[in-house]
Amino acid sequence: MKFIHRIKKIRLSQIIFGVIINVVLLPFRVFADPPYSGEGEGISSILTNPLNSSSFAELIESIAKLAAKIGIPIAALFIIYSGLLFVTARGNEKQLETAKASFTWAIIGTAILLGAWVIASAIEATVRSF
* DSSP at 37: -
Q: What percent of the chain has pLDDT over 70?
A: 61
**118 and 61 inside one domain:** yes
| Helices and strands counted in the chain (H then E) | 3, 0
Same domain, 76 and 117: yes
Within 10 angstroms of residue 49's Cβ, the number of other Cβ atoms is 7
Residue that is last in its domain, among 33, 48, 63: 48
- Total domain count for the chain? 2
For residue 28, pLDDT over 80 is answered with no
| Res 26: pLDDT | 61
Together in a domain, 68 and 106: yes
Residues 67 and 126 in one domain: yes
The range of the structural domain enclosing residue 8 comes to 1-48
Q: What is the mean pLDDT of residues 72-101?
A: 92
- Please check whether residues 81 and 61 belong to one and the same domain: yes
